[in-house]
């Protein structure tokens, strides 16, 4: 899979990859936190079968994408528009998982003339969401991260993030589940020990190899206003959230399901955080393709 980049306004570099059907329906994919543009072989195979062209960029601060300090969730729209224009893409689908979920929703909310349909899988809700206790139900690792971020900003969260990044960078695929134990339920630990562990490992290795800037900025971004209201989304949205998720608790999915107009909400009692991008991903691609075929 070729490693590609585009130069944005102001000289920033944005790293991206493409896979699937090169002549297929464009679908922009947003990676989780921490991570980088790494497409799982299972996603690519499914996209090829469904006629989807997957495009995934690495958020600023990760890997070779130039850092953008102070970025908000909504800032992703500028980067996606620049990349889409660079590739000659006018209208597209989009999905994001975990930390990528709000970015897919941002594109749906702020690009109504370009986004045909969107999917958000295990997406966090806004930190300031009315009626939501943001950290209720999170694993101890997430609680520590967000508490430090809220109370002390970058100076407080950077040492922890750098220590965690060092642990992940020195872990083998087999050791990754142990390294991530404070964030995992049994359902998700099993997924990491399976084939998807290799994809998660490669994503972390690529995203954190040079610095933990992207991870720091993601943490800061998630406790700031998003820059848009999910209630303003007019495109069809598929929302999927698992009960067995200690990284993004079930309450986040319930809040988004109440907030997004006309959402197709799959609030699953069986799923965890990672099963949504393993066993559920073919259904997500099928749902998106159906909306494209109905609209275009």
For 262-272, write each residue's pLDDT tens digit.
Answer: 999 999 999 99
Q: What are the structural domains of the chain?
A: 4-295 (3.40.50.1820)
For 138-188, write each residue's pLDDT tens digit.
Answer: 988 889 999 999 999 999 999 999 999 998 899 888 888 787 877 788 899
Report the chain's mean pLDDT, rounded to a whole number. 95
Query: Distance between CA atoms of 187 and 247, rounded to whole angstroms?
Result: 12
Percent of the chain with pLDDT over 90: 88
* Whether residue 2 has pLDDT greater than 90: no
For 91-123, write each residue's pLDDT tens digit.
Answer: 999 999 999 999 999 999 999 999 999 999 999
Q: What is the pTM of this model?
A: 0.97
């Amino acid at each position: 899979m070729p490693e590609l980049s585009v130069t944005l306004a102001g000289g920033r570099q944005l790293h991206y990859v493409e896979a699937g059907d090169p002549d297929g329906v464009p679908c922009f994919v947003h990676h989780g936190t921490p991570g980088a543009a790494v497409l799982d072989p299972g996603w690519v195979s499914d996209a090829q079968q469904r006629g989807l062209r997957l495009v995934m960029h690495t958020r600023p601060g990760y890997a070779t994408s130039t850092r953008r300090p102070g970025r908000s969730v909504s800032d992703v729209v500028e980067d996606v528009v620049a990349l889409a224009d660079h590739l000659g893409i006018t209208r597209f689908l989009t999905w994001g998982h975990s930390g990528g979920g709000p970015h897919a929703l941002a594109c749906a909310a702020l690009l109504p003339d370009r986004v045909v349909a969107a999917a958000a899988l295990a997406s966090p809700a806004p930190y300031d969401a009315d009626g939501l206790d943001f950290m209720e139900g999170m694993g101890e690792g997430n609680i520590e991260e967000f508490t430090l971020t809220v109370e002390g900003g970058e100076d407080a969260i950077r040492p922890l993030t750098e220590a965690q990044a060092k642990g992940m960078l020195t872990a083998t695929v087999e050791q990754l589940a142990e390294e991530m134990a404070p964030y995992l339920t049994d359902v998700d630990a099993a997924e990491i020990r399976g084939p998807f562990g290799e994809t998660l490992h490669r994503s972390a290795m690529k995203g954190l190899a040079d610095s933990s800037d992207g991870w720091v900025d993601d943490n800061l971004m998630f406790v700031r206003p998003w820059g848009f209201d999910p209630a303003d989304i007019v495109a069809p949205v598929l929302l999927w959230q698992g009960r067995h998720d200690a990284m993004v608790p079930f309450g986040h999915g319930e809040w988004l399901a109440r907030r997004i107009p006309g959402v197709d909400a799959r609030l699953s009692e069986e799923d965890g955080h990672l099963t949504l991008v393993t066993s559920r991903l073919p259904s997500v691609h099928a749902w998106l393709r159906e909306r494209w075929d109905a609209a275009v």
